[in-house]
């Protein structure tokens, strides 16, 4: 079962979003070893009707939970997605000039 992983929307450090080769999406909790399928559950499914409930409406059918958890622990993307560091402004606005007292850009209010 080929699986690709994405970072979870909640940035949890123990969860990853697994996208299965058939297009199904699941949240894999690598800490507790659970798989929670995303999609339309039945109205009586334990995942949507009970706190901490596991899916029992059939969305997990055909998914090897043990194998997917093991693969997610090894290859999953957990936590917050990396972001590029902000780039410093290259251009200093013309309205700012070098202070004659401290020789920096201090808006002229320094005590040097």
C-alpha distance from residue 67 to each of 17, 28, 29, 52 (Å): 15, 11, 13, 21
Q: How many CB atoms lie within 10 A of CB 68?
A: 20
pLDDT in tens, the chain (112 residues): 668 999 999 999 999 999 999 999 999 999 999 999 999 999 999 999 999 899 999 999 999 999 999 999 999 999 999 998 888 766 655 556 677 777 777 766 777 5
Tell whether 99 is covered by a domain.
no
Tell whether 89 is covered by a domain.
no
Domains contained in the chain, number = 1
Tell whether 112 is covered by a domain.
no
Tell whether 29 is covered by a domain.
yes
Segments forming the whole domain that contains residue 16: 3-75
Tell whether 84 is covered by a domain.
no
56, 46 in Cβ contact below 8 A? yes
Q: Which is nearest to 16 in space by CA: 65, 72, 99, 100?
A: 72
Distance (Å, whole) CA 112 – CA 94 = 22
Tell whether 51 is covered by a domain.
yes
pLDDT for 112 equals 58
19, 8 in Cβ contact below 8 A? no
């Amino acid at each position: 079962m080929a699986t690709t992983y994405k970072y979870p929307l909640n940035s949890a450090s123990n969860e990853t979003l697994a996208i299965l080769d058939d297009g199904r999406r699941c949240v894999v909790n690598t800490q507790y070893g659970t798989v929670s399928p995303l999609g339309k559950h039945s109205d009586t499914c334990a995942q949507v009707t009970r706190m901490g409930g596991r899916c029992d409406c059939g969305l997990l059918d055909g998914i090897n939970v043990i194998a997917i958890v093991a693969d997610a622990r090894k290859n999953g993307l957990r936590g917050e997605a990396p972001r590029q560091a902000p780039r410093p402004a290259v251009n200093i606005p013309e309205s700012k000039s070098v202070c004659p007292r401290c020789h920096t850009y201090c808006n002229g209010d320094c005590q040097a």
